[in-house]
Amino acid sequence: MKRHWKVGELAKLSGVTIRTLRFYDQIGLLSPSDQTESGHRLYLEPDIARLQQIQALKEMGLSLEEIKSFLAGERNTPLEVVKLQIERLRETIRLQQKLLRELEHVAARMRTRDPLGVEEFTQLFETMKQTREKFALERRASWESHLDRLASFLLQSEIPNEPNRPNRPDRPNDNESNEPH
């Protein structure tokens, strides 16, 4: 298996944009461990593990500053982040299964034309509310991710030109990737 990746290769592998990887490097969240003789960024396996942690924590709704702080902690290993992901996923599944059971119960009662009581509707409303709130939190995290990317773009456009780089923030000069931007 490959032991190092250029920025474009890591972007393709992870689904994170090249611009985002550069921004993470700029703010000290994820810096490449090595570089080629010509100065191209090279990411190693530990960098990929850290990127997975960053993505998992973003998915949980943490801001980039919170992620940076979290990852600076000594006991926050890749295993701890994976455990957090598992815990979050189990909670989501639990809520979805609860809603499914309640909806199936209501549907069964409706099929038999058995009237539903206020308690059953109240319970269904409560479960739906919990599910909605969870969905709203996840949607908020997604919006924050979009805003982080927008901030990355805006900050990139304010950075003075790097040597051999035209001042075109919408089209990075990256010899490491031939991907269209």
State pLDDT tens for residues 22-52: 999 999 999 999 988 998 889 999 999 899 9
Q: Compute the half-sphere exposure of residue 73: CA atoms within 13 Å on the CB side of its CA.
A: 12
For residues 110 and 121, give the distance between their C-alpha atoms in angstroms, rounded to a whole number. 12
Closest C-alpha to 109, from 96, 124, 98: 124
Enclosing domain of residue 117: 89-143
- Within this chain, do residues 44 and 13 fall inside the same structural domain, yes or no? yes
Could you tell me if 35 and 50 lie in one domain?
A: yes
Asked whether residue 67 falls in the same domain as residue 15, the answer is yes
User: Would 163 be classed as within a structural domain?
Assistant: no
Which pLDDT score is estimated for 164? 47
On average, the pLDDT of the chain sits at 77
For position 169, what pLDDT does the model report?
Answer: 47
What is the pLDDT confidence band of residue 141, given thresholds at 50, 70 and 90?
Answer: low
Return the percentage of the chain with pLDDT > 70, whole number.
72
Give the model's pLDDT for residue 175: 43
| Average pLDDT, integer, range 7-32 | 93
Is residue 28 domain-shared with residue 63, that is, in the same domain? yes
Q: How many CB atoms lie under 10 A from the CB of residue 143?
A: 10
* 175 in any annotated domain: no
Q: Are residues 50 and 93 in the same domain?
A: no
E strand or H helix that includes residue 161:
none
Q: What is the mean pLDDT of residues 120-135?
A: 78
Structural domain count of the chain: 2
Q: Based on the domain organization, do 72 and 22 belong to the same domain?
A: yes
pLDDT of residue 113: 85
* Domain contains 38: yes
Q: How many CA atoms lie within 13 A of 170 on its CB side?
A: 0
Residue 51 and residue 48: Cα distance in Å, rounded?
5
156 has a pLDDT exceeding 80: no
71 and 94 housed in the same domain: no
162 or 16: which carries more pLDDT confidence? 16
Indicate if 70 and 110 belong to the same structural domain.
no
